[in-house]
């Protein structure tokens, strides 16, 4: 049989249509623009604080990253604050995932009336900007003793984490085969047993993905951290980091950027550790 060595080359040229080229160029440009802030953060975090002249650097000059991180760790007391944020992020995200998974099971699997109404009632918590809740929360917390308390921040983080976690878990529950639940019910399994022994194991990847989302959201919170807490043993890490660039701080931008890079490491480690569950959940929801 005759061979055509130029066939693959011609096929590749045929696939490079103007539309495909335009799409690839557009995606490349968007990726570069998206990565630009991260590049500037890394470059200026490496600059020694003593050598920073007030103008952002576009290319690495010197190596003072570890010294900048050490200064940020000491002056902002990031250790206790990171412990607080870890406590808030883990506990509130875990509780929110349990509540969201239970709600998704009830509104998708169980024979509940007005399922659409329940969906919008729970998901509407994500439709309003968080700034709307600041004044009533501040006044309520000041009157009930929850202001500047770990339990108060925990309640807020659970409340703001549930709606989006419910959105993820509900979408995942819609992809599960109803025949599995019907077979279990015909065998006499109670709803409680169906939930814990069938629904939860099948939803594990989606639960991990939702946990990652909510952990990152709580870890990166600054708004409620600076509004509902003042004590160093209560405030989350972003509120502590914000003090480095406050009016009474004398550290340079490289120290602030080094601290920002330092406090972002837990979320990066968590994402890569749970990447397998994260990707599989996205595929199933897609």
pTM of the predicted model, to two decimals? 0.80
Residue 139 has pLDDT above 60, yes or no: yes
Round the CA-based radius of gyration of the chain to a whole number and report it: 25
Distance CA 23, CA 56 (A): 32
Instruction: Give the DSSP letter string of 46-109.
Output: HS-GGG--SS--SS--S--HHHHHHHHHHHTTHHHHHHHHHHHHHHHHHHHHHHHHHHHIIIII
The per-residue pLDDT for 4 is: 47
Residue 90 has pLDDT above 60, yes or no: yes
Minimal CA–CA distance to 243: which of 67, 251, 47, 148? 251
What percent of the chain clears pLDDT 90, i.e. is strictly above it? 22
For the stretch 224-233, pLDDT in tens is 999 998 888 8
For the stretch 1-30, pLDDT in tens is 455 455 555 545 556 677 888 888 898 989
What average pLDDT does the chain have? Answer: 83
For the stretch 252-265, pLDDT in tens is 778 888 888 889 88
Distance CA 183, CA 218 (A): 39
Residue 157 has pLDDT above 90, yes or no: yes
CA distances from 77 to 126, 158, 179, 243, 251 (A): 32, 26, 54, 10, 14
């Amino acid at each position: 049989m005759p061979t055509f060595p130029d066939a693959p080359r011609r096929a590749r040229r045929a696939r490079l249509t103007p539309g495909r080229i335009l799409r690839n160029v557009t995606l490349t440009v968007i990726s570069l623009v998206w990565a630009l802030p991260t590049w500037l953060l890394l470059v200026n975090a490496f600059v020694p604080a003593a050598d920073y002249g007030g103008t952002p650097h576009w290319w690495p000059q010197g190596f003072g990253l570890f010294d900048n991180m050490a200064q940020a760790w000491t002056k902002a007391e990031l250790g206790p604050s990171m412990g607080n944020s870890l406590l808030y992020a883990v506990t509130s995200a875990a509780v929110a995932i349990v509540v969201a998974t239970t709600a998704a099971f009830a509104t998708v699997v169980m024979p509940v009336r007005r399922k659409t109404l329940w969906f919008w009632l729970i998901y509407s918590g994500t439709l309003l900007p968080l700034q709307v809740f600041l004044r009533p929360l501040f006044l309520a917390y000041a009157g009930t003793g929850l202001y500047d308390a770990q339990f108060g921040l925990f309640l807020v983080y659970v409340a703001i984490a549930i709606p989006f976690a419910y959105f993820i878990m509900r979408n995942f529950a819609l992809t599960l085969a109803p025949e599995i639940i019907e077979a279990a019910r015909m065998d006499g399994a109670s709803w409680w047993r169906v939930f814990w022994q069938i629904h939860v194991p099948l939803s594990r990847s989606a639960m991990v993905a939702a946990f990652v989302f909510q952990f990152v959201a709580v870890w990166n919170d600054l708004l409620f951290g600076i509004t509902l807490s003042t004590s160093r043993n209560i405030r989350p890490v972003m509120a502590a980091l914000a003090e480095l660039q406050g009016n009474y701080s004398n550290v340079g931008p490289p120290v602030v950027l080094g601290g920002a890079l330092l406090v972002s490491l837990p979320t990066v480690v968590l994402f890569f550790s749970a990447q397998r569950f994260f990707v599989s959940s996205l595929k199933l929801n897609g």
